[in-house]
Structure 1
Amino acid sequence: MRRSPVHVWGGALAIATAVLTASFFPTPARAAQSGITLSEERSVRATMHAAGLSSAVIERLIAKLRAGEQLDSELETVAPESSVTTLQDAGVVTTATYPDGSIRTTVELERTLTGASARIYVAHPTLECNLIHCTLIYSRADTKYMATASFSTVSAIVAAACGPAARACGIAVGVVIDTTHNAYSSGRCVGLRKVLATGPVYPVIVSCRK
């Protein structure tokens, strides 16, 4: 029997905590478009089982990954078939199920940052996890703020997401700033993504969630 989204993704709150206090939650790896390795497949299977997916769905999703295809939950162009939203301690948690049976969990977060100047800024990122990777997506307002802020301010925002220092998630602030500028100029939003459990966090440009 498939577990309820609330039960399955209570762990999403642990992911959010890891993202905001230490580093991105180690998520299963997916190789380049040639498919996945045996070790990656084992990690993906374990995550899918933990999410309560049926054996039939898991085999179907693994077959897609072996063929180098993306899961529906990874694609912004595919709409979910259903979703369940609950209010939990970490914020609003939404679990969406996609046509191929994959799922994406979203946690709405709020982070208050106080810099050396004692100026307070409240960021409103969204944490999305889809069985393959987790992405901390900053809002449109956050992206604009980061695109026009000083290096030290952006460093503080990155540090808040990755731990006591930006190096805690292995990302260069300069790269984040460049990506943020490109995201802002294109009308999109910047995010910090973690794919490989042992790999680095890297900035991405995605459609704005809010």
Structure 2
Amino acid sequence: MRIGMIGAGHIGATLAAHLTDAGHEVAIANSRGPGTLEDLVEAIEGSIRAVTAEEAADFGDVVVVSIPYGRYLELPAAALRGKVVIDTCNYYPQRDGADPELDDDSTTSSEKIQEYTRARVVKAFNAIYWYNLRDRARPKGAPDRLAIPVSGDDDEAKRTVGDLIDRIGFDVVDAGNLARGGRKHQPGSRVYTAELSADETHSLLDAA
């Protein structure tokens, strides 16, 4: 599969390594230009190249967005329209600036990204520490395999993202749609950054 990646921080770079290792073609971008990603591309074995954000969005069958939430209006919305987009972002007011709609809980950050891009957004990888994402991948059925909660409004998109998650070494737990489910694994929730199995994650999400 062709994976576009917009954002090359800890989560983005770690996912790029996992996805190339799983045999996917990756085109990765950051806000500073392809030339600043040469060391990252050299360090990751597999089919990966540095591009612009617009090129990453055009390239990907699936596009990972891993940027500070406060910069989501910089995303190439036209190129993302209709695509499966994995949203790893979290809203942190102290970093992103106040967003009244998020502060009063009238919507979620993923819903706002979906509305802006008109993409098929699936929220995932936002509730795991990057070093656990790097170090805790396990084969299917391993007793210490961690779970990744996901939410989204498009069931087909969630299945696509779930397959990617499974292939890189994590279990998938469906939290529901972006509105109700997304709130269950955003910052401040009981599963946020918790190191949990699929059964444990299910139990906490069901209780939320």
TM-score of Structure 1 vs Structure 2, range by shorter chain? under 0.3
Bigger radius of gyration, 1 or 2? 1
Decide which structure has greater strand share.
1
Decide which structure has greater helix share.
2
Structure scoring higher RCO (CA < 8 A, sep ≥ 6) equals: 1
